[in-house]
Amino acid sequence: MPKKTIADVPLSGKKVLVRVDFNVPLDSAQQITDDRRIRMALPTIEKILAGGGRAILMSHLGRPKGEGVEPNLSLRPAAERLGELLGQPVAFAADTAGDDAREKVASGSNVVVLENLRFQVGEKKGDAAFADGLAGLADIYCNDAFGTCHRTDASMVAVPAAMEGKPRVVGFLVAREIEYLDDVIARPQHPFIAILGGAKVSDKIGVIKNLLGICDHVVIGGAMAYTFALAQGGQVGDSLVEPDKVDLAQDLLKQGGEKLVLPFDTHCGDAFAPDCNKQVVPAGKIPEGFMGLDIGPRTASHYADLVTHAKTIVWNGPMGVFEMPPFDAGTRAVAESIAASDAVSIIGGGDSAAAIEQFGFADQVSHVSTGGGASLAMLEGKNFAAVELLDRVD
């Protein structure tokens, strides 16, 4: 599915409408606590500027109601951070696609950031009039919002549809995400191992099913393992489980056979606290009054061993409560073994991306995705309408 990128189109004198994902975490004082998504969009923006074009950036932030401005979800702090990172002025349009946006674009600023798309009801509805307003601002459409590629919001689908006949391309971030999450997975080097963690089996069903078809091992950790333990008739004490997903876990166990690797031992505690009473027990033998909080040490070293022998590794979801030592040990062991490996390693967004950053290994893996839901959807093998409709390389 090779798509044209921003490097494939003439940019001189052109206005480029770029859908970015500046959905960054903010603290209560509206300070950005992690600007990775903004930094990852810089190569595309810098390419546009270096080519003599102008960039009009649009994004959502959070999940506002779609009934107008909610000041705590304004994109103004993201626009300010972008200005600092680029080292040049960034104009901010307070109304998304209205008079202020048209004025800021007409004023000749090289970079304009529009206010949160989701303040307008048309964004989530995929509304044509709203899309036309945005489409009319530019000569070229560029999708560099990987974290939102699984969405069909107006800025992702209706806007590029309304710009048919003009160049519609991917940015460098989306191109790179597709290269890893789609292309590498389509033609993996074996052994190919997927390590899946996190709280819920229900979030990962599609991913487990799809990866069981292409991986040599699908390795399970996190609270999701306790639902599998329940499905095998084990005892899970007070662990976080999904009793209504036990049937499904049984189906996955049947489908997976020996490919599906479950923990042997569990590090549990009698409270969700670092100073709780702790013990390591065999998986499926968690006593009443205790809850599983991490994979046990034997499991951690087996998983690290599987990683060491793999040529392609996908990791999505922590093995335990990695924010709360000592229950970070399982996640840390997996992260360390991935960092030490020469395999192609892809870290799904969300918690595993946060974990690999926290442990300081982010630059020792092949790719850390900027998408949470989007990277899962891609690992499920789904196609994205937002990418499908963009121009292909001839």
Query: Beta-carbon neighbour count of residue 324 at 10 Å?
Result: 15
Among 5, 23, 116, 155, binds ligand 3PG (CB under 6 A): 23
Query: Whole-number minimum distance, CB 34 to ligand 3PG, in Å?
Result: 11
Site for ligand 3PG in 287-316 (CB under 6 A): none
154 Cβ contact partners less than 8 Å away, ≥ 6 residues apart: 117, 122, 123, 124, 125, 126, 127, 130, 131, 134
Query: Whole-number minimum distance, CB 207 to Mg ion, in Å?
Result: 15
Q: How far apart (Å, rounded) are the C-alpha atoms in residues 209 and 219?
A: 12
Short-list 307, 311, 324, CA closest to 361: 307
147 binds, options Mg ion, ligand 3PG, none, Cβ within 5 to 8 A by partner type: ligand 3PG
21 binds, options ligand 3PG, Mg ion, none, Cβ within 5 to 8 A by partner type: ligand 3PG
Question: What φ, ψ does residue 230 adopt, rounded to 5°?
Answer: -60, -40
From 76, 125, 166, 200, active-site residue: 200
Which segments of the chain does DSSP mark as H helices, in order? 36-50, 76-86, 99-106, 121-125, 128-135, 158-162, 172-178, 185-186, 201-212, 224-231, 246-256, 297-308, 329-340, 351-358, 373-379, 385-388
**Distance from the Cα of residue 171 to its chain's centroid:** 16
Structure tokens at 45: 């923006």
Q: How far apart (Å, rounded) are the C-alpha atoms in residues 360 and 268?
A: 26
Residue 124 binds ligand 3PG (CB under 6 A): no
Nearest residue to ligand 3PG on Cβ basis: 23
3-state per-residue secondary structure call for 270-299: CCCCCCCCEEEEECCEECCCCEEEEECHHH
Residue 143 binds ligand 3PG (CB under 6 A): no
Site for ligand 3PG in 30-49 (CB under 6 A): none
Residue 147 binds ligand 3PG (CB under 6 A): yes
The window from 145-153, 164-172, 224-232, 351-359 that contacts ligand 3PG (CB under 6 A) reads: 145-153
Computed from CA positions of residues 345, 346, 351, 356, in that sequence, does the dihedral angle turn out positive or negative?
positive
From 3, 4, 19, 37, active-site residue: 37
The window from 144-152, 202-210, 314-322, 334-342 that contacts ligand 3PG (CB under 6 A) reads: 144-152
Q: How far apart (Å, rounded) are the C-alpha atoms in residues 225 and 200?
A: 9
Footprint on this chain of Mg ion (rule: CB under 5 A): 373
Count of positions on this chain that bind ligand 3PG (CB under 6 A): 8
Site for ligand 3PG in 314-373 (CB under 6 A): 372-373
Q: Give the CA distances from residue 132 to residues 42, 79, 154, 339, in Å, rounded to whole numbers and listed in that order.
A: 26, 23, 10, 46
Residue 266 binds ligand 3PG (CB under 6 A): no
From 36, 373, 381, 382, active-site residue: 373
346 Cβ contact partners less than 8 Å away, ≥ 6 residues apart: 180, 181, 184, 185, 313, 314, 315, 365, 366, 367, 369
Q: Which is nearer to ligand 3PG, 62 or 282 (CB)?
A: 62
Residue 148 binds ligand 3PG (CB under 6 A): yes
332 binds, options ligand 3PG, Mg ion, none, Cβ within 5 to 8 A by partner type: none
Residue 19 binds ligand 3PG (CB under 6 A): no
Q: Which is nearer to Mg ion, 98 or 373 (CB)?
A: 373
Is 373 one of the catalytic residues? yes
Is 197 one of the catalytic residues? no
Query: Whole-number minimum distance, CB 139 to ligand 3PG, in Å?
Result: 26
Is 382 one of the catalytic residues? no
- Name the site residues for ligand 3PG (rule: CB under 6 A): 21, 23, 63, 147-148, 151, 372-373
Catalytic residue numbers read 37, 200, 350, 373
